[in-house]
A and B are shown apart, each in its own frame.
Chain A
Amino acid sequence: MAPDQLLSGWGRTAPTAACVARPGPGDPLGGLFTRSGVIPRGLGRSYGDAAQCSGGTVVDMTARDDVYAEDLETGHVTVAAGASLDALMRRYVPQGWFVPVTPGTRQVTVGGAIAADVHGKNHHVDGSLGLHLTSLTLTTPNGTIDCGPEGPERDLFWATVGGLGLTGIIERATLRLVPIATSSLAVDTERCRDIDELMATMSESDAHFRYSVAWIDCLATGASLGRSVLTRGNHASVDELGPSGSRARRDPLAFRPAVRIGVPAAVPTGLLNRLTVRAFNEAWYRKAPRTARRSLESITSFFHPLDGVRDWNRLYGRRGFLQYQLMVPFGAETDLRHLVESVAASGCASFLTVLKRFGPGNRAPLSFPAAGWTLALDLAVGNPGLGPLLDGLDQVVVSAGGRIYLAKDSRLQPELLAAMYPRLDEWRQVRDRVDPDHLMQSDLSRRLGL
Chain B
Amino acid sequence: MNDALGHPQSLLVLGGGSDIALATVNALAAQRCRTAILAGRRPEVLDRAAADLRRSHPDTLTVETAPFDALERSGHDKVIQELFARPGGIDLVIVAFAILGDQQVDQEDPESAARVVEVNFTGAVTAMLAVVKQFRAQGRGTLVVLSSVAGVRVRKANFIYGSSKAGLDGFTQGLADSLIGTGIRVLLVRPGFVTTKMTAGMKKAPMSTTAEAVATTIVRGLESGASVVWVPSALRYVMGVMKLLPRAVFRRIPS
Residues of A within 8 A of B (CB): 2-3, 6, 11, 13-18, 48-49, 53-56, 318-320, 322, 381-382, 384, 386-387, 410-411, 413, 443, 446-447
Contacts and interface: CB of A to CB of B under 8 A. Distances in A.
Contacts of A15: 183
B5 to A, nearest CB: 5
A387 B1 CA distance: 16
A3 B3 CA distance: 19
A393 to B, nearest CB: 14
B1 A447 contact: yes
A338 to B, nearest CB: 23
B225 interface: yes
Given A319-B225, A384-B220, A387-B223, A17 B140 contact: yes
B126 to A, nearest CB: 21
Contacts of A17: 136, 139-140, 182-183
B89 interface: yes
Contacts, number: 81
Contact of B183 (A6, A318, A384): A6
Contacts of A3: 136-139, 183
Nearest to B134: A55
B223 A382 contact: yes
Contacts of B2: 14
The 9 closest A-B pairs by CB, nearest first: A54-B139, A410-B4, A13-B4, A17-B139, A447-B1, A3-B139, A55-B139, A16-B140, A17-B183
A56 B139 contact: yes
A16 B9 CA distance: 15
A54 B2 CA distance: 11
A193 to B, nearest CB: 34
**Chain A contact residues: helix, strand, loop or mixed:** loop
Given A382-B225, A443-B1, A55 B7 contact: no
Given A318-B225, A319-B225, A387-B31, A381 B5 contact: yes
Interface string B149-180: 00000000000000000000000000000000
B54 interface: no
B1 A446 contact: yes
Contact of A320 (B4, B183, B220): B4
B224 A387 contact: no
B136 A447 contact: no
Given A384-B223, A446-B1, 13 more contacts: A2-B136, A3-B137, A13-B3, A13-B4, A16-B140, A48-B4, A319-B224, A319-B225, A382-B224, A387-B7, A387-B31, A410-B4, A446-B88
B181 interface: yes
Interface in B79-111: 88-89
B236 interface: no
Interface in B59-95: 88-89
Interface in B1-58: 1-7, 9, 31-32
Nearest to B3: A411
A15 B140 CA distance: 8
A53 B138 CA distance: 9
A11 B138 CA distance: 21
B139 A18 contact: yes
10 contacts: A3-B137, A13-B3, A14-B1, A18-B139, A53-B139, A54-B138, A54-B139, A381-B223, A384-B220, A384-B224
B3 A6 contact: no
Contact of B32 (A413, A443, A446): A413
B255 to A, nearest CB: 35
Contacts of A53: 139
A319 B185 CA distance: 13
Interface in B214-239: 220, 223-225
Contacts of A446: 1, 88
Nearest to A18: B139
Contacts of B183: 3, 6, 15-17, 54
Contacts of A318: 225
A325 to B, nearest CB: 14
A322 B182 contact: no
Given A16-B183, A446-B88, A411 B4 contact: yes
B4 A381 contact: yes
A382 to B, nearest CB: 5
B133 to A, nearest CB: 11
Q: Max chain A CB contacts within 10 Å: which of B6, B136, B139?
A: B139
A2 B134 CA distance: 11
Contacts of B139: 3, 16-18, 53-56
A2 B139 CA distance: 9
Contacts of A2: 136-137
A18 B139 CA distance: 6
- Greatest chain B CB density within 10 A among A15, A48, A49 is at A15
